[in-house]
Chains A and B, each alone.
Chain A
Amino acid sequence: MGKVGIIGVGQSAFVRGYPGSIRELAFEGFRECMLDANITTKDIDASVICSAPEYDKQRSPAGVFAEYFGLTPQPTFYVESLCSSSSMGVRLAYSLVKSGLHDVVAVVGFQKMSEISSAESQERMGRGADIQWESPFGTMMPAYYAMYARAHMAQYGTTSDDLALIRVKAATYGQINEKAVYRKQVTFEMFSDPESPMSNPVASPLRVGDCCANADGSSCIIVASEEKAKALCKKPVWILGLGAASTAVNMAGRELFTGLIVGEQAGDQAYKMAGITPKDIDVAEVHDCFTIAEMMAYENLGFAKPGEGKDLIKSKETYKEGSIPVNVDGGLLSKGHPIGATGGSQIRTIVLQLRGEAGEMQVKDPEIGLVHNIGGVGLYGNVTILGR
């Protein structure tokens, strides 16, 4: 069986209030990807469309997009796993190609979140948790992650200051990523400045600065068989490892509250499949929907021992020049988090890094990169390991 490669990547700018419809938004990521791959729609056998559906008025967007992209009559269908939808789409594309059913598959992720208010958005996001037993208590995503933050603090002595450092890092790179929704600097001092919105409490112990920004955006990844990848692409990036896991939707059904078990399980699977260890990762994108989520990812992925994630950020080892650069494109915190587009955007960043095409964000000569993408409050976990 041959390898499976990525031959094209693209994403729209992540913005607030995209001035167009979902098909037009999705086309932006698709077009950039097609120009990157330098192929035609005839080269693509199938498309997989990914989003979290509760934001869309359009039912079954796959068919609508396929027509808009010129990808009919090829098969197209929809994949959903909340915030990890497009990583799950790439996992599916891998299996479609590996099975020999298709040779070249386009995975398009999108989300237009701005059509509803922030409070409505929190309510819908909260409904990604257990609507029968937890949502009636008034839950929302920041509060769930805040419970993980509180447990991590109680167990390991992690502080709000440690978490603030993660946001400061994200903003460092958000400023140089032209695709990012939040391009401004965030300083450590802002978190203790009552005049700064960053210091406003959201759900204790998390503050505004600990939370990612909602955004509209799209991404596209083209996955191909080894034969097609070599024929169509000068610098294919190979999928070396894949991992995916799920856990209890409700907090009451879980055991671990200082980390996301699905991130750990998906990571272990992906490392095993790739035949590597965490030390082999040269650059990573992790799911930092909240600062605590990045801290837990360091530990769940083996970049730090449990409880020692704070040392990694304090010593700046996850900055571009450090031993394990993480989210040097601004992450979800500054780049923005258009749910269905996020996994594809993370994969795009790592592919550009491995090709040496990440511009100002480029880390030095990486050979292996990792993408960690979580759906819901650690309900779904996907890890994808890529190599040159």
Chain B
Amino acid sequence: MAQKKKEVDDRFKKFGTVTFTSITKINDFIDKLEQGKVMGTRCKECGRVFFPPRADCYQCLKSDMEWFEVTGKGKLVSYSKLEFAPVGFGDDLPYAIALLDYGDYKVFGRIADNVPENEIEVGMEMETVVNTLPNGQLNYVFQKA
């Protein structure tokens, strides 16, 4: 009897302009993105909050997580606008990478293309929103709050 072909759950390959990881235990993250939600994980055992989400809790060594949504405003910690890009990202230029501080966790991503550079200021409040890239891939970007 022929062996049934094993299905590979490689949903994560949809993340970012170019992805370097396709198989991970938190592949549901991509389904959430497709629903318009950016989500982190919270350890059901000890309550520790993780963003980016993770499958395993180093604090209590359990792997029982629940999802929480990144909502509300974060403060812009820093950013940089790139004039050169690594291989595979040239078509996205220019773009800005940035970090938002939500207090309990931080989110690393890009600033939305429609935010003019002269309006970006460290400390300003921004929101994280799901973004579909021109090549169909998904990521998230920061909009002015």
Contact = CB atoms under 8 A, between A and B. Distances in A.
A150 B52 contact: no
B46 interface: no
A338 to B, nearest CB: 20
Contacts of A144: 80
A119 B20 contact: no
B122 to A, nearest CB: 4
Interface stretch (A100-108, A130-138, A176-184): A130-138
Contacts of A147: 77-80, 97-99
Contacts of B95: 138
Q: Bin chain B's interface residue count.
A: 35 or more
Contacts of A205: 80
B79 A136 contact: no
B20 A132 contact: yes
Q: Bin chain A's interface residue count.
A: 35 or more
B134 interface: no
Contacts of B108: 133-134, 137, 250-252
B52 A123 contact: no
Interface stretch (B2-10, B59-67, B83-91): B83-91
B71 interface: no
14 contacts: A119-B85, A122-B84, A126-B86, A132-B12, A133-B52, A137-B109, A138-B17, A138-B89, A138-B92, A149-B80, A203-B83, A204-B80, A252-B52, A252-B99
Interface string A243-263: 000000011111001000000
Contact of A201 (B83, B92, B139): B83
Contacts of B105: 252
Contacts of A206: 80
Nearest to A200: B83
Given A132-B52, A201-B81, 16 more contacts: A119-B84, A119-B86, A120-B87, A132-B20, A133-B52, A134-B97, A134-B108, A138-B18, A140-B82, A142-B84, A146-B80, A150-B78, A150-B80, A200-B83, A252-B105, A257-B78
B15 to A, nearest CB: 5
A137 B78 contact: no
Given A147-B80, A147-B97, A252-B105, A136 B85 contact: no
A35 interface: no
A14 interface: no
Max count, chain B CB within 10 A of own CB: residue among A140, A144, A202, A203? A203
Nearest to B52: A133
Given A119-B86, A137-B139, A147-B78, A132 B24 contact: yes
A151 interface: yes
A139 interface: yes
Interface of A: 119-120, 122-123, 126-127, 130-140, 142-144, 146-151, 154, 200-206, 250-254, 257
Contacts of B85: 119, 122, 138, 140
A211 to B, nearest CB: 10
B21 A132 contact: yes
Contact of B80 (A133, A136, A203, A252): A203
Given A138-B86, A150-B122, A252 B16 contact: no
A200 B92 CA distance: 19
A136 B97 contact: no
A283 B57 CA distance: 44
Nearest to A118: B84
A250 B110 CA distance: 14
Given A133-B108, A136-B18, A147-B79, A123 B84 contact: no
B82 A138 contact: yes
Nearest to B53: A133
Given A151-B77, A154-B123, A252-B105, A203 B99 contact: no
Contact of B139 (A123, A136, A142): A136
Nearest to A148: B78
Max count, chain A CB within 10 A of own CB: residue among B20, B21, B105, B123? B20
Nearest to A127: B20
A127 B96 CA distance: 18
Max count, chain B CB within 10 A of own CB: residue among A122, A143, A149? A143
Nearest to B110: A137
A252 B40 CA distance: 12
A257 B77 contact: yes
B107 interface: yes
Nearest to B98: A147
Contacts of A132: 12, 20-21, 24, 52
B106 interface: yes
Nearest to A126: B86
Max count, chain B CB within 10 A of own CB: residue among A126, A136, A204, A252? A136
A142 B83 CA distance: 11
Nearest to B93: A138
